[in-house]
Amino acid sequence: MSVPKSQLKIILGGASFGDPAYGGRVSDIKDIDAILDLFVAHGHCEVDNSRQYCAGTSEEKMGMIDWRSKGLKLGSKLLALDPGAVVARSISSENISHTYDDMKKYILKSLKALNAEQLDIWYLYLHCADRRTDYNITMKAVNELYKEGYFKRFGISNFMSWEVAEIVGICKGNGYITPSVYQGPYNGLHRTAEPELFPCLKKFGISYYAFNPLGGGFFTGRYTSLTDDSEPGSRFDQSKGQGQFYRGRYWNEANFKALASIQAIANKHNLTLAEIALRWLSHHSHVEEGGW
């Protein structure tokens, strides 16, 4: 019996790899290696990471593995840390801007940790936007780093649609490398990208890499009501900053009501919630419509 394949490109996220002290849920190198081998065996090759994931230990774990012999392509991201920003400062106690000096400093940290000379994709990662730095300055710096050979493709993540248009205009107007990939959340319950962002990305030929296809675990069937407990260290552990963030995104009465209606359909057709979530993304979402 053949293994069913998605119509969409599959990317492996590295956020779960790393030191348990910093939120890592898979820390043994042998386990990470086995996961990567299975990923490759299914015909996939792209692994996504971030300087922020598990205080940088996710990148370090990847750097301990012979990822080149597996034919893997690595991408990573840089989070801007604004003074006073309400984000986890696990990667640095310093302020991190999207200026040339800071970006070069941290892309070199990523390359060293990953044991790599060049990234396949490098993203500016805006969970907390660096609006102290003009995008003209940032895009010029990105282009200089690209010309210096630190990455092959330029990606952006969590920008507003108007910011995407502004960035593309700056890049095209100055002959800079333009973003070719956008990374953001998308699933059956989180569809805010559809009205404005997706048309913007299609206009500029930017691919959309959807993360949270299972809602950070919301579509696993483990959670059914607002009063459910969450596993310590999980995405919904409210004692952690990440858990508070994910609860803010998904943990509400409307989503649990929607989840119950989806569960009823899953039961009727002998499917799991996870299967329905992934089938929707592959066959019925706007990502599929866009041919991304």
Which amino acid is present at 191? R
- Please state, as a whole number, how many other Cβ atoms lie within 10 Å of the Cβ of residue 231: 12
Pick the catalytic residue from 22, 53, 186, 208: 53
- What is the greatest pairwise CA distance in the chain? 56
Nearest by Cα to 208 from 72, 29, 8, 43: 8
Helices and strands per DSSP (H, E), number in the chain: 10, 7
Nearest by Cα to 162 from 130, 197, 204, 127: 197
Which amino acid is present at 99? T
> E strands along the chain, which residues?
11-13, 46-48, 73-79, 119-125, 151-157, 181-185, 207-211
- Does residue 250 have an active-site annotation? no
Kindly tell me the burial class for residue 254, based on how many C-beta atoms sit within 10 Å of its own C-beta (0-12, 13-18, 19 or more): exposed
Q: Which residues are catalytic?
A: 53
